[in-house]
């Protein structure tokens, strides 16, 4: 189902294309250590939360039993949120459209460069540089999206 205005024209429920995306990468070095991080920011788009729809169909969405107000046949009706979303599903998809804006710590890494004098002595001069590191992805995410 899709919402329509008084003239029968479709009403856009959102835009899947973000207004903008931004990434910030930084490397901080101290002595033989290096800390690197990458933040991603996406702003101003909407998506349909199909996970919530599927959970509503099974009666398992987290807010299924909370009371909410829904417009059914031009009348405001209070009912459980999950039931309300399913009641209007044939004529409205808006209850499942959510903001997809987020700020995410995409990557964080820490590395250590072994001093060259040690590396040369360990490998009889055959290796001149050795670095050990650990990295993690998607450690933090700030969003209003439920899915």
**Prediction pTM value:** 0.71
Q: Per-residue confidence of the chain (147 residues) as pLDDT tens digits?
A: 466 788 888 777 788 899 999 999 999 999 999 999 999 999 999 998 888 888 888 888 888 888 887 777 777 878 888 888 887 776 667 788 899 999 999 999 999 999 999 999 999 889 989 999 999 999 999 999 987
Tell me the domain boundaries of the chain. 1-45+100-147, 49-98
Which token pair is 53? 């729809």
Helix (H) or strand (E) holding 57: helix 50-57
Closest to 96 (Cα-Cα) out of 84, 109, 78: 84
Asked if residue 137 lies in contact with residue 107, where contact means CB atoms within 8 angstroms, the answer is yes
> Is-contact 68 57, C-beta < 8 A?
no
Q: What letter would DSSP give residue 119? A: H
């Amino acid at each position: 189902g899709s919402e329509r205005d008084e003239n029968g024209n479709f009403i856009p429920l959102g835009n899947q294309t973000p207004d903008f995306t931004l990434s910030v990468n930084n490397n901080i070095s101290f002595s033989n250590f290096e800390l690197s991080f990458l933040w991603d920011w996406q702003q101003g788009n909407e998506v349909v939360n199909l996970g919530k729809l599927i959970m509503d169909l099974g009666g398992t969405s987290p807010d299924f039993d909370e009371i909410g107000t829904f417009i059914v046949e031009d009348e405001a009706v209070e009912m459980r949120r999950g039931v309300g979303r399913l009641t209007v599903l044939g004529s409205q998809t808006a209850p499942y459209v959510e903001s997809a804006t987020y700020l995410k710590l995409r990557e964080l890494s820490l590395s250590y460069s072994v001093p060259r004098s040690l590396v040369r002595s360990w490998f009889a001069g055959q290796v001149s540089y050795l670095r050990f590191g650990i990295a993690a992805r998607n450690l933090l995410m700030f969003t209003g999206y439920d899915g």
